[in-house]
């Protein structure tokens, strides 16, 4: 089961003053003359790239799409979130990054726990829907933003690129690489709650064709939640060098994250039917009124609660070389390892009333608490790819072709036993200490997965203004699992092929830079029935593959060289398995018995309006429903925890009257998230506002930027997420309380 954690990690109070003193010292370095500066940190391209520096809010190309053509020409919906946008909005977690784009949403994300995303309403799979520098990646780890240059998101089915994957999209984390010019930055961050971070980003040249970049970070985690203090560290090294007639890029990273996590709240069972249906009252106050929960409350604050520990390391390399006739060869490989201690006092269900409540809490706020401990979970993943791309001339139709092979192996090795024991019942409005129940008696499961993909993609010019994009992926998938005592062994072997086609038509006669497109593609997923004989009539059965299908129509308009607009209309149909109740209480898991249809509209406007104003606006409307089911009552229901509408608007403006000063705002509106319990309705709509300002000036050491911002300016309280889990639980996560933050960056 997915879990979460707490317990304070404290440091001597005197140490809290040191980062503040350093921040003040940097902030008031003698100014050598204020210069007009934009909010973004100007960077030159990596040593492997020739061309203009990438602006903060625009990106001409993205690796995640799989094509060489500029984003303005591809028939795909791609969002790029740059490191500069992450920094200026204070978005250092995956959940925070999801706020910046309307097509993205949380997926069981909470403070102190591993995070995931949902795209176009579909939860992404930890293996299959994530990439690191283009290679398959396991998302079951903490993401450190200091080593990320940008986050690329391809929205829609991804079978052509990822083989077996959920249909929502593909996320690619692109690592920072050496820059063309030496540079050194030190950043100190502080918040009103005592959070403090020190980040060093230093870049050096190694001769005329090489570079080295080092990122180091240390953070004392102090969220506006009780008993959730922690710490984390990061070290990331990137190396680039021209060698053997090509370009070699190597990067290595180590990170550690130690923090108690914060479990979700539950719906109250006020009608006594054994299932929660009523949203609890919520407040940002530390001591709210009667029968009101505080957003600062951590129910994982028992005396025996332990923090979650996540430690990971990875090493990757990529070699690119130009061959004859303009063809390019690319070889890449990456190895990742992690160790996780997943521990939490977990509130779930209620047995204190006349009937057992699940999912949810009893009507008076009572909830059962479980002592969960799964320690020394070891995971590893190795991925590699080899590909060729170049131009073909045939039948008068110039084509850029990419062919290659990719492979990954992944393994999960927890300890033989875990603990998941009932510790007692507490009341969420006034939690009390309970005795620990740490006995490890529940068997764990060992898992293995590997996939070998053969892929081909092409860009064919049919006419001067017409481009045809096409591709297919053929994946040989193997999965297996076994209980830690050797029982319940199951295995899956399948070969799955997924095609994709798209057409882009430029319309220069209507407007320069305007293009329209259409695309169609497939995604594919494979499932094995959970190996639980007590719950299923067909435990361990390998089910037929489920094929998702998507069509998309859209337009892209290059309004100015630095401002782009796009719009897409799409529909995704995803078949899936469903449980058919049996006479003996067990269920028959039936393949392709349910179909989810997600239909929506997305629009984006991003870039620079003029020399002083930059923006990133995105809006999405999504109608996500069940359109086929073995249970007629479910047909027409909206999918749970999927926002019906979302708006994300970031605006930055440099004040010409006050050189060096910039102001910015981030507005988020979201509404229509259905709670996955019959009769529970939807979460109330919410609108959140963040405001910030920065001032940059030259000084004797280089330049200094002082930034002050406030998240959730209006101190709005509300429920931001109501995820339903694979084991039947439904949880509530609140919006974080207002937080002021100060940062100082010194560039040498």
Host H or E run for residue 308: strand 308-322
Q: Can you list the domains of the chain with their CATH numbers?
A: 13-62+72-747 (2.40.170.20)
Q: What is the mean pLDDT of residues 365-378?
A: 97
Q: What is the mean pLDDT of residues 292-309?
A: 97
| pLDDT per position as a tens digit, 437-486 | 999 999 999 999 999 999 999 999 999 999 999 999 999 999 999 999 99
- Can you tell me the distance from the alpha carbon of 281 to that of 277, in angstroms, rounded to the nearest whole number? 13
Looking at per-residue pLDDT, the higher value among 368 and 21 belongs to 368
Q: Strands 230-243 and 292-294, how do they pair? A: unpaired
State the pLDDT confidence band at 510, using cuts at 50, 70 and 90.
very high
| pLDDT per position as a tens digit, 636-667 | 999 999 999 999 999 999 999 999 999 999 99
Tell me what the pLDDT averaged over the chain comes to.
Answer: 90
- Can you tell me the distance from the alpha carbon of 652 to that of 611, in angstroms, rounded to the nearest whole number? 11
Instruction: Supply the Cα-derived Rg of the chain in whole angstroms.
Output: 26
| pLDDT per position as a tens digit, 325-342 | 889 999 999 999 999 999
**Between the CA of residue 747 and those of 32, 200, 466, 625, what are the distances in Å?**
14, 10, 46, 51
Check the CA dihedral 364-346-419-586 and report its sign.
Answer: positive
Backbone angles phi, psi at 705, to 5 degrees: -125, 125
* Predicted structure pTM score: 0.91
| pLDDT per position as a tens digit, 620-640 | 999 999 999 999 999 999 999
Q: What is the mean pLDDT of residues 43-55?
A: 34
| pLDDT per position as a tens digit, 713-739 | 999 999 999 999 888 899 999 999 999
pLDDT at 40 over 80: no
| pLDDT per position as a tens digit, 205-261 | 998 899 999 999 999 999 999 999 999 999 999 999 999 899 999 999 999 999 999
pLDDT of residue 394: 74
Please, where are the H alpha helices in 661-711? none
pLDDT at 711 over 80: yes
What does 627-669 look like in DSSP terms, one character per residue? Answer: EE-SSGGGTTPBPBT--SEEEEEEEEEE-TTSTTEEEEEEEEE
pLDDT of residue 25: 37
- Can you tell me the distance from the alpha carbon of 158 to that of 520, in angstroms, rounded to the nearest whole number? 11
* Bond from prior residue into 174 cis (ω within 30 degrees of 0): no
pLDDT of residue 1: 36
**Residue at token pair 């439904």:** 730
Residue 169 near residue 129 (C-beta atoms within 8 A): yes
- Can you tell me the distance from the alpha carbon of 318 to that of 240, in angstroms, rounded to the nearest whole number? 10
pLDDT at 673 over 80: yes
Share of the chain above pLDDT 90, in %: 84
Share of the chain above pLDDT 70, in %: 92
Can you read off the two tokens belonging to residue 595?
């179909």
Range of weakest confidence among 258-267, 414-423, 522-531, 684-693: 522-531
Looking at per-residue pLDDT, the higher value among 39 and 594 belongs to 594
pLDDT at 152 over 90: yes
pLDDT of residue 679: 87
What does 6-44 look like in DSSP terms, one character per residue? Answer: -------GGGGHHHHHHHHHHHTSPEEE-----SS---P
Q: What is the mean pLDDT of residues 81-88?
A: 91
Q: What is the mean pLDDT of residues 272-287?
A: 95
- Can you tell me the distance from the alpha carbon of 279 to that of 732, in angstroms, rounded to the nearest whole number? 9
Please, where are the H alpha helices in 89-163? 94-98, 159-162
Calculate ∠ Cα 122-668-647, nearest 5°: 60
State the pLDDT confidence band at 56, using cuts at 50, 70 and 90.
low
Q: Which long-range contacts (CB under 8 A, 24 or more apart) does 100-103 make?
A: 100/616, 100/648, 100/650, 100/666, 101/153, 101/618, 101/648, 102/602, 102/604, 102/618, 102/619, 102/620, 102/646, 102/647, 102/648, 103/77, 103/79, 103/153, 103/155, 103/169, 103/602, 103/618, 103/620, 103/646
**Between the CA of residue 325 and those of 319, 322, 391, what are the distances in Å?**
19, 9, 8
Q: What is the mean pLDDT of residues 188-202?
A: 97
| pLDDT per position as a tens digit, 528-547 | 888 888 889 999 888 888 99
pLDDT of residue 523: 95
| pLDDT per position as a tens digit, 559-618 | 998 899 999 999 999 999 999 999 998 999 999 999 999 999 999 999 999 989 999 999
pLDDT of residue 39: 29
């Amino acid at each position: 089961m997915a879990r979460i954690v707490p317990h304070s990690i404290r440091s001597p109070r005197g140490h809290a003053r040191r980062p503040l003193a350093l921040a003040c010292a940097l902030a008031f370095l003698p100014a050598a003359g204020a210069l007009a500066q934009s909010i973004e940190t100007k960077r030159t391209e990596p040593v492997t790239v020739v061309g203009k520096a990438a602006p903060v809010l625009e990106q001409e190309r993205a690796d995640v799409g799989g094509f060489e053509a500029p984003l303005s020409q591809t028939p795909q919906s791609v969002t790029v979130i740059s490191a500069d946008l992450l920094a200026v909005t204070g978005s250092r977690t995956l959940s925070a990054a999801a706020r910046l784009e309307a097509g993205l949403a949380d997926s069981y994300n909470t403070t102190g726990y591993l995070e995931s995303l949902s795209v176009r309403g579909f939860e992404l799979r930890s293996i299959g829907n994530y990439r690191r520098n283009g290679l398959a990646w396991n998302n079951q780890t903490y993401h450190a933003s200091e080593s990320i240059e940008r986050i690329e998101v391809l929205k829609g089915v991804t079978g052509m690129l990822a083989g077996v994957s959920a249909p929502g999209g593909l996320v690619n984390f692109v690592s920072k690489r050496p820059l063309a010019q030496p540079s050194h930055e030190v950043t100190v961050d502080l918040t009103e709650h005592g959070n403090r971070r020190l980040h060093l980003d230093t870049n050096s040249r190694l001769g005329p064709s090489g570079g080295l970049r080092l990122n180091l970070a240390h953070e004392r985690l102090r969220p506006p939640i009780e008993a959730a203090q922690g710490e984390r560290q990061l070290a990331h090294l990137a190396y680039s060098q021209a060698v053997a007639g090509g370009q070699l890029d190597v990067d290595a990273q180590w990170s550690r994250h130690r923090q108690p996590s914060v479990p979700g709240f539950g719906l109250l069972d006020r009608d006594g039917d054994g299932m929660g249906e009523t949203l609890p009252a919520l407040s940002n106050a530390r001591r709210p009124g009667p029968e009101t929960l505080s957003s600062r409350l951590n129910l994982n604050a028992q005396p025996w609660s332990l923090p979650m520990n996540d430690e990971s390391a990875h090493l990757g390399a990529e070699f690119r070389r130009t061959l004859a006739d303009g063809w390019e060869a690319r070889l890449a490989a990456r190895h990742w390892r992690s160790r996780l201690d997943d521990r939490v006092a977990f509130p779930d269900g209620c047995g204190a009333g006349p009937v057992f409540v699940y999912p949810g809490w009893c009507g008076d706020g009572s909830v059962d608490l479980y002592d969960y401990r799964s320690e020394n979970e070891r995971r590893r993943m190795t991925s590699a790819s080899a590909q060729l791309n170049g131009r073909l001339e045939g039948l008068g139709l110039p084509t850029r072709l990419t062919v290659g092979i990719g492979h990954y192996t992944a393994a999960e090795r927890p300890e033989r036993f875990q603990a998941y024991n009932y510790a007692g019942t507490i009341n969420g409005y006034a939690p009390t200490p309970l005795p620990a129940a740490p006995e490890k008696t529940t068997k764990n499961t060992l898992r293995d997965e590997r996939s070998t993909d053969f892929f081909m993609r092409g860009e064919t010019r049919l006419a001067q203004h017409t481009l045809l994009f096409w591709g297919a992926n053929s994946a040989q998938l193997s999965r297996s699992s076994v209980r830690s005592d050797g029982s319940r062994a199951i295995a899956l072997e399948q070969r799955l092929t997924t095609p994709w086609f798209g057409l882009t038509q430029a319309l220069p006669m209507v407007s320069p830079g305007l293009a329209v497109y259409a695309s169609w593609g497939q995604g594919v997923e494979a499932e094995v029935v959970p190996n639980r004989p007590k719950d299923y009539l067909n435990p361990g059965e390998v089910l037929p593959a489920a094929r998702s299908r998507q069509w998309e129509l859209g337009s892209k308009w290059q309004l100015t060289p630095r401002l782009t607009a796009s719009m897409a209309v799409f529909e995704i149909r995803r078949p899936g398995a469903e449980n058919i109740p049996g006479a003996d209480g067990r269920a028959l898991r039936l393949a392709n018995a349910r179909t989810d249809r997600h239909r929506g509209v997305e629009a984006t406007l991003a870039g620079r309006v003029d020399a002083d104003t930059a923006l990133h606006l995105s809006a999405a409307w999504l109608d996500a429903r069940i359109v086929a089911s073995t249970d007629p009552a479910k047909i027409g229901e909206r999918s749970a925890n999927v926002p019906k509408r979302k708006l994300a608007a970031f605006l930055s403006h440099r004040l010409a009257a006050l050189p060096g000063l910039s102001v910015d705002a981030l507005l988020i509106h979201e509404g229509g998230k259905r709670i996955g319990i019959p009769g529970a309705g939807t979460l109330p709509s919410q609108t959140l506002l963040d405001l910030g300002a920065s001032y940059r000036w030259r000084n004797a050491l280089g330049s200094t930027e002082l930034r002050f911002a406030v998240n959730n300016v209006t101190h709005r309280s509300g429920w931001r997420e109501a995820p339903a889990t694979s084991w039947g639980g439904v949880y509530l996560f609140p919006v974080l309380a207002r937080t002021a933050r100060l940062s100082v960056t010194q560039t040498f």
